[in-house]
Chains A and B, each alone.
Chain A
Amino acid sequence: VVGGQPGNSPWTVSLRNRKGEHFCGGSLVKEKWVLTARQCFSSCHEPLTGYEVWSGTLFQNPQPGEPDLQRVPIAKMVCGPSSSQLVLLKLARSVTLNQRVALICLPPERYVVPPRTKCEIAGWGEGKGSSGASVLHVASMNVISNQECNVKHRGRVHENEMCTEGLLVPTGACEGDYGGPLACFTHDCWVLQGIIIPNRVCARPRWPAIFMRVSVFVDWIQKVMQLE
């Protein structure tokens, strides 16, 4: 996260490869389900033996035996609709919710976050020198309308995407943050409104950042969690 600060985001999880290395972020939407970006995985069907979700820690490399750390193997992956760039990860067992691990709300179907809503991204990714990646960093961002976003992005932002304001001081997601949440504070709760997707540039000054809009795919998320 560029331009962020060490912070708390109990629904942000770290995806770990078979060597235990962090490679993407994700969001805990149910005790056994994590939503993340499709680009983080090589295939919708490849076995995920050895891949894990780590939650309950702020550290990218927690000490062995850290009591709050929960490591849960990924049991299954379900790829989202073709236009979604999303995947749902089913965990081998439920995580235990506590002060360090919490679920994030899903938005109502097709809900549009009003412009100027306060949101934040979180991740262990690259900080471009502005922050170390060893602890979870959080950065605040304000939502802008797709119409406003498209002025800069020349109409390339679709309805299933959403944008946050491009600030003069670079702020935004970067390498290693992909798959993590854009959480917006709505009606007294933090709601997962966007997913960080690989972008050409990280935190470019004055350029709005683009996220996948979760509300467009909430029906798919609910259906998968119900049927599986």
Chain B
Amino acid sequence: QRSPLNDFQLLRGTQLQNLLHAVVPGPWQEDVANAEECARLCGPLLDCRAFHYNRSSHGCQLLPWTQNSPNTQIHHSGCCDLFQKKDYIRTCIMDKGVGYRGTVATTAGGLTCQSWNHRFPNDHRYTPTLQNGLEENFCRNPDGDSGGPWCYTTNPSVRFQSCGIKSCQEAACVWCNGEDYRGSVDHTESGRECQRWDLQYPHQHPFHPGKFMERGLDDNYCRNPDGSERPWCYTTDPQLEREFCAIPSCAPPLTKQFQSRFISGSKAPPDQVATTFNCFRGKGEGYRGTANTTTAGVPCQRWDSQSPHQHGFSPEKYACKDLRENFCRNPDGSEAPWCFTTRPGMRVAFCYQIPRCTDEILPEDCYQGSGKQYRGSVNKTRKGIPCQHWSAETPHKPQFTPASAPQLEKNFCRNPDGDSHGPWCYTTDPGTLFDYCALKHCNKDQLPSILKPPVPVQFEKCGKRVDRMDRWRSMMR
């Protein structure tokens, strides 16, 4: 059940243009069922190296070039996706690299390759054709040499030399559990081809690339989006849902002694999130504190124990995650630090009692009351975002302007609507309309009660429900 798209690398929202007017791409074929049909058309054609797929019109345009071809330019497109054959795009080789169609033209020893259609300085019997892919002076492997792609060199004393292009397996290694792996291996350790992450067959799965943007779920490459032990993929074999990929580790094999140091967090691999101890940032992957109960106070199970809950998060397999004792950790990208609990009926629980590290900057001034009279010059939000000028119209169109309220000077924090939570401002961040300012209350301890005694109130369209539970009960049964 492999998809013909497996041979292509996708660039979403992209079009590829050839700047030479003399060459024209193929015509648009409308009403193609989907991108797979387009791939089926392009795949076997030797002069088709890529195609555009128009998502709205379901159009398909076959292209004889890729982004690595001369005089081409990629640009953003609202409607089109660009699919390019992997053999032309990948910078590493699969197997012996017979299918390699990249543009490396230098040997491992640094010599410039001779053009395949030249017979000088080295004479040879190869004639470039579409079949053998011998193009310009690019490294190729037309004879299936075990050393991978090679070329005749322009040095008369060195007839030919291997180009030393690494296999995709060797080209990128994995740190820790390989969450950052962005290499091009697309087969599992048993040799099965991976299923594309953007397809739901043969296996349905929750890892839609659009939802997990930062996980790099490109094409059908091995990845680790769920904090597994190693990069993996769904396979194109309907009988086997998912399998690990054999990608070497960047770290040398750990000795027992080194392992214990490593586990205790002394070595930080690249790109690891910042370590915290008394609070956690983001999802808490960097939390290394000693909280060891769930939010509700249930003691955590030790990570090196399989009782009462069996699990795969053994400290040895997750050396970078510091799974020490029974401390709350987040080894799998969950919402917050968590643990297996010691209660048999409750497998896992979050440790939300660990406070989040503040992302607020230190207050720069203070205000009285609700801050309606504040006339200071603080012009930053509590997160440190600069305020938008009250007279400006972008990035946000203000409801309060200096015309209606003269105290709205420059981009200073003010409280034109008497907000009980203090002075605020529109922010210069297009994603944050307004926010409270980097200010504190001048005498918070002496504030009168903010609460009012109960008063009669009326509600109209909310808070009503049908309390007849018959249908629900039958459903639940």
Does the CB pair A39–B433 fall under 8 Å?
Answer: no
Residue of B296, B349, B421, B450 near A220 (CB, 8 A) is: B421
Does the CB pair B419–A219 fall under 8 Å?
Answer: yes
Does the CB pair B454–A110 fall under 8 Å?
Answer: no
| Interface hits, B352-377 → A, CB 8 Å | 352-353, 356, 359-360
Which chain B residue has the least Cβ–Cβ distance from A43?
B282
Question: Do A46 and B450 form a contact, CB below 8 Å, given A202-B295, A219-B420?
Answer: no
Which one, B146-154, B161-169, B306-314, B459-467, is touching chain A?
B459-467
Cβ-based interface call for B436 (8 A): yes
| Interface hits, B435-476 → A, CB 8 Å | 436, 449-459, 461-467, 469, 472-473, 475-476
In the bound complex, residues from chain A placing their C-beta under 8 Å from that of B432 are 45, 78
Cβ-based interface call for A58 (8 A): yes
Residue of A81, A102, A199 near B295 (CB, 8 A) is: A199
Q: Mark A8-42, 1 if CB is under 8 A from B, else 0.
A: 11110000011110010000000000000011111
Does the CB pair A227–B433 fall under 8 Å?
Answer: yes
Does the CB pair A18–B296 fall under 8 Å?
Answer: no
The complex places the Cα of A185 from the Cα of B325 at a distance, in Å, of 46
In the bound complex, residues from chain A placing their C-beta under 8 Å from that of B464 are 102, 189-190
| Interface hits, A24-70 → B, CB 8 Å | 38-47, 49-50, 58
Which one, B60-68, B84-92, B206-214, is touching chain A?
B206-214
Does the CB pair A102–B465 fall under 8 Å?
Answer: yes
In the bound complex, residues from chain A placing their C-beta under 8 Å from that of B206 are 18-20
Residue of A17, A160, A190, A201 near B297 (CB, 8 A) is: A201
Residue of B359, B399, B431, B452 near A112 (CB, 8 A) is: B452
Does the CB pair A47–B213 fall under 8 Å?
Answer: yes
Q: Mark A174-210, 1 if CB is under 8 A from B, else 0.
A: 1100100001001111110000001111110000000
Cβ-based interface call for A149 (8 A): no
Does the CB pair B463–A175 fall under 8 Å?
Answer: no
Cβ-based interface call for B417 (8 A): yes
Does the CB pair B419–A220 fall under 8 Å?
Answer: yes
Cβ-based interface call for B383 (8 A): yes
Question: Do A110 and B451 form a contact, CB below 8 Å, given A49-B213, A220-B419?
Answer: yes
| B295, B434, B449, B461 pick with most chain A CB within 10 angstroms | B295
In the bound complex, residues from chain A placing their C-beta under 8 Å from that of B207 are 19
Residue of A38, A42, A82, A202 near B296 (CB, 8 A) is: A202
In the bound complex, residues from chain A placing their C-beta under 8 Å from that of B433 are 78, 227-228
Cβ-based interface call for B114 (8 A): no
Chain B residues in contact with chain A, CB under 8 A?
206-208, 210-213, 226, 282-284, 294-297, 335-336, 345-346, 349-350, 352-353, 356, 359-360, 382-383, 399, 417, 419-422, 431-434, 436, 449-459, 461-467, 469, 472-473, 475-476
